[in-house]
Every structure is written in structure tokens, then in C-alpha cells.
Structure 1
Amino acid sequence: MAGNTNHLYLIALGSNQRHELAGSPRNMLEQAIEALEMPDIDVFAQSSIIESAAIGASRRRYANAVALISSHLDPPALLRRLHSVETHFGRRRIGQRWRARTLDLDILLWSGGIWSGEHPVLAIPHVSMRERNFVLGPATEIAPDWRDPVSGLTIRQLFHRLNRPKPLDRLQSPH
């Protein structure tokens, strides 16, 4: 699907490790968003940066944000570009999953809907997007009405469903 047609992408950014040049994880995300601006990638919206608890073995808190970009690149080509930006900022793709990292960039959604092409590590929408507050919260700031092509729900609806009280929570809350 490459060509001259521009696609919209929602990209997740995360960092929980200091970088010798970029500094704190928050600064890392700010610099990564700047680095995404390229002749064939236009960053035209970004969320605020939030902090979240780590998933998995890492104990360091994460800085998280999302960005809305436009590009003529198809999903595999954009993923390669995102991986090169991660590498530029010191990311090494070896070892334990969910370990501390200087930068993590993931494609959450794209205007083409569902992508399950030949690339083994690329599935759009992102498989864990619907269960992650640190993704859905920032995404509601810049793309609240974007629909998940799998569930048909908007980002805002997914965020509210994830955060609604569970039946047990309602029973335990004082009235």
C-alpha cells in the first residue's frame, strides 16, 4: 500500500531508562517526537506525557505519550523507521521482554484499519492497546473519536470501559 497516499497512524511512545544525552525518560520522549519529524513523516499532534507503572520485570516507572502522524509509508516500512529511531536512542532488541528501555515506539492504529500482513511482529491494531491505560489515556487527548477496527469502539469508549468500576468495586464502595 505504499505510494503517494498518506496514512494516519497513532503511535505509542514509552521510556523508562535515562539516556546519557537525552536525559530523563520524559526528555527522551520529547526528543523522540522531534526525531519522528522527517521528510516522509509529519507529526501533527502529540499527547501530554504521563507516568505509569512498569509491566513485567522492570521496576522503573515509564514516561508514556502518543503521537498522531501522517506518512505515505505502509505499516512495515513505518515500523522499520520506528525501529531505526529506537536504535538511534540506544534501544537494543535483545534479552528479556518488558525490560528497562530508553525508547519504545509502537504502531497502535492506522487509517487503513487492520494490518496482519507478512511481518511477524506487526499487528494493527496493537494487540494490547485495549488493556493499557497508559496508551488509551493519552490517546483520548488527541484521537478520542478514532474507532478501533476490531471492536468498533472509539478510543474514548475503550478508555471508559477499561476504567469503569468492576462489579466487586461497586459492592465495596461506601454509600
Structure 2
Amino acid sequence: MRGHLSSTYLVALGSNRPHHLYGRPRAVVHAAMEELAVLGTVTHRSPIIATAPLGAAQRRFANAAALVESELDPEAMLAGLQHIENGFGRRRWRRWGDRVLDLDIVLWSEGAFAAPGLQIPHPAFRERAFVMTPALAIAPAWRDPVSGRSLRHLNARLTRKHPRP
């Protein structure tokens, strides 16, 4: 469903499996950034970074973030992102497993949102450097609507050295 006003989404992108057309995960993420344009206007793209595997995943990830201005409401944006994932061959069979493409809504300019299968802000983004680092590159002043802290501040909390006992 289209709304009448445009809002901005911070979308996290990740891949750790090659794609038969696009090649290695870094190229998959680059192609997916271009594909986001079907959902709105991509105004900013972060650099693509390499990150360690997480959970059951066996391969290193390529991760990035993009800002997308769109008239889509959050549920329609999620459906659009899932459509893109499916077009890249995403199969949802194992949590934390290897995947060709993973697209997540991290933040929304309208604040917090909750619906079945969707929570904005993304519940785990504050603890994930592979999301925070690319997001920080394109939206350091964006404030988390839950904590009120900027991405710059949240990243500082995430990356600070903890004193040893």
C-alpha cells in the first residue's frame, strides 16, 4: 500500500554466498543496492565491508547499508525487500545460515513500528557491528527512536574497550 508522504528507511544488506549471475557476495550486495531503486530513491550507499560469519554461517559476509526514500509503508517495504531477496534466490530454511542475500529494515524516519513479522528499529541492530559500521558511514546522526541515541553514540558504546577486571 502506498502512502502519500515519502519517508526514509535505513536498510542493511548482507550476503555470504555467491550468485550464479552476480558472482561473489560483494558483487551480490552491490547488485542488491541497485535493485533497491524499485522500492524508492536510494539516496546513500555505504561502502561494502567484509565481516566474520555469524551463528551457523560458514562463510564471511559482505555487508552494507543504504538509505531509501519511499512512499511505501513499513509492511509494503518489507514485502518489497523480501521480493528482492527471493529474486536473488533467498531461501528461508535456517536462521543464521549462509544466504545469497539478506535485506533488513533497520530504522525508519517515522520512528518505531511493530507488526507481525516486523519490528522497527530492528531489535538487534545496536549489538551488530556488521550493521552499525555501514550505517554509521551514511547516517551517523540518525537517532534510534527507542534509546534516543545517535548511531555515532550507539557505535561508540558497541566498540569501546571494556575495562578488564
Q: TM-score, normalised by structure 1?
A: 0.91
Query: Which residue in the other structure is 1:129 paired with?
Result: 125
Matches within 5 A, 1:35-74: 35-38=35-38, 40-74=39-73
Following superposition, the deviation at residue 166 of structure 1 comes to 0.6
Match of 1:106 in 2: 104
CA shift, 1:55, in A, is 1.2
**Using the alignment, how far apart are the partners of 1:104 and 1:164 within structure 2?**
27
Q: For 1:58 and 1:165, how far apart are their aligned partners in 2?
A: 26
Larger strand fraction of residues: 2
Secondary structure, counterpart of 1:32 in structure 2:
helix
Aligned to 2:139: 143
Runs of 4+ in 1 over 4 A off after TM superposition: none
Unaligned 5+ segments in structure 1 are none
2: CA distance between counterparts of 1:132 and 1:3?
31
Amino acid at match of 2:151: I
Q: From the CA coordinates, give the structure whose radius of gyration is larger.
A: 1
Deviation at 1:2, TM superposition (A): 4.2
CA-CA distance at 1:64 after TM superposition:
0.1
| Structure 2, unaligned runs of 5 or more | none
Q: Size of the alignment, in residue pairs?
A: 165
Q: 2-side partners of 1:135 and 1:88: how far apart?
A: 22
Q: 1:60 deviation in Å? A: 0.4
The residue number in structure 1 matching 2:18 is 18
TM-score by length of 2: 0.97
CA offset digits 1:48-102 (Å, max 9, x no partner): 0001111111110000000001001000000000000000001011x22111100
Q: Which amino acid aligns with 1:44?
A: T
1:84 paired with 2:91, answer: no
Structure 2 residue aligned with 1:31: 31
Aligned twin of 1:160: 156
Q: Secondary structure at the match of 1:106?
A: strand
- Partners of 1:9 and 1:36 in 2: how far apart? 11
Distance of 2:106 and 2:150 partners within structure 1: 13
Residue 167 of structure 1 deviates from its aligned partner by: 1.7
State the Cα distance separating 1:121 from its structure 2 match.
1.5
The alignment's C-alpha RMSD in Å is 1.2
The percentage of counterpart residues that share the same residue type is: 51
Q: Report the counterpart of residue 95 of structure 2 in structure 1.
A: 97
Residues in 1 aligned to 2:35 and 2:94: alpha-carbon distance in whole angstroms: 26
